[in-house]
Structure 1
Amino acid sequence: MVKTAFCLCLLILPSYLFAQARQDTISAYFDLGISAIKKSEQLKIDSLVYYDILQFGTKLRIIGYADYVGSEEANVELSEARANNIKSYLISLGMSDQDIEMVIGKGEVKRDVPNGNAGYRKDRRVDIVPGGFQHSPDTPKKTPAKTIDLSKVKKNETLRLENVYFEGGSHYWLKQSIPVLEQLLAALQQHPTVRIRIEGHICCDRPRDGIDFETGEFELSTQRAKAVRDYLVKNGIAITRLEYHGFARTRPLRDPAEDQMMNRRVEIRILDK
């Protein structure tokens, strides 16, 4: 199908294709409140497949989003519908269902400064992330999580949350992180007087914090720490017991060139017991 659509594919500018070839994530954009794929985005995907920039036979993750316009529940459904429509379109082009490792809707992208009823076009999108979980550098081998015992951690000491890992360039954690977060929640429930600060860190030699592609800001370590804080608050921990802070790459455990994964981490610091 794609090969016979060569003339249509040429409608996509080569400069755009070259830009996509240099990126890890391919994004398809949608109209406000609409889950159907626009013709222009179908042609974009056709072109990326034709020129082997989006290659079948590799693992993919498909992640849908919505802007803030509309209710939170409706936006979750909308983002899921967008992601599923992209999946269906890729399969119609010849992609194997087994190569699509994840299809998920993240709901709305939070914005501190709304843009009225117009919303934000770049938040109405689906990201196609090549590589899947098996080949992602941000996905280490899963190892059993240790029980978190806050009674053994002294005031002002830190405790690293082992096996808490995030999607590349994002404050969304990978699913193997959930058991550790549940253990942290249980530990705070068992010790109701403990106050903590959640500290986010990233790897690599950067002059400032990493960019969070969800917000477009250089605040990746801060947003990852905040995401853990928000999870705890959502599950009943008083917000007054929780602080968060991002330290970017200023406190590496190891030489970033030798062990990037070790430095992509979240720690908790005991502020009061």
Structure 2
Amino acid sequence: MKPFLSFIILFLTLNTFAQEQFVVYFNSDKFELTKTENKKLEEWTKFHTKDKIVAINGYTDEDGSSGYNDTLAKKRVNHVFEIIKGKVPFREDFKSRSYGENFNQSKNKAENRKVTIYYIKEKDLARENEILGIKEEVEIIVDSTFVLDEVISDDAPLDERIAKTREGKTLILKDINFYHNTFGVMNESRPILYDLAFIMQNNPKLVIQVQGHVCCNADVTDSRSIMLSRERAKAIKLFLVSRGVSAARVSFQGFGSSMPLYPIPEQNEEERVANRRVEILIVKK
């Protein structure tokens, strides 16, 4: 929701907080800048290309009728705007205001024939709304589709576990073991792989990512551990593809020892086995 603010509020707050201003002056009865003032404005734009303009105000002295002075002040604002347009960013709800002679006039008439640019410096843009005194409304959205994850037993059949696992969630592929320091799957792990292949074949919309993890290495940046976990995940993908599952439905990734279930170094073999695992991310069902 974009904040709505009246012009009066904007400029009250600009005066209340630490404001930034830049002023250029005009000759009497003129709305175009002199060469000197024009150069001053162009120099200012060069050093403020990453700041943000929030408002431009135009003023005149008291000579002439109020209607004439209002028009003259507006022309001065437009003239300045055309010079800096595209060179310095403007706030989305940027305001311009032509005061004419209707402001607190200086006794020195030359000081009244001016345009003032209000802006926020780049370093303060993170506090932009605070500086402008804008209190943003926070919209609370209740997601009616949110559901608690169902508790699934690790001992449940694989097809049931996959059926109950929501998209974006992972499950551990139990009883997958590899020969020491290789990506060769041990023979006793073959049944679970055949189960997974069967499930993939019978659920053509199912898309997964195989994720490999290793144990026992506290150095999470170790390239050998990462590569080993990746190759193990890849080996499972290749098995599924060999059983007729489309390669586009199976991706793989290795995390090394960066996501242990138990702190490293593990306290026993049970913890090492738990960390040395393969998980499946349900990408799409």
- TM-score (norm. length: structure 1): 0.43
TM-score, scaled to structure 2: 0.42
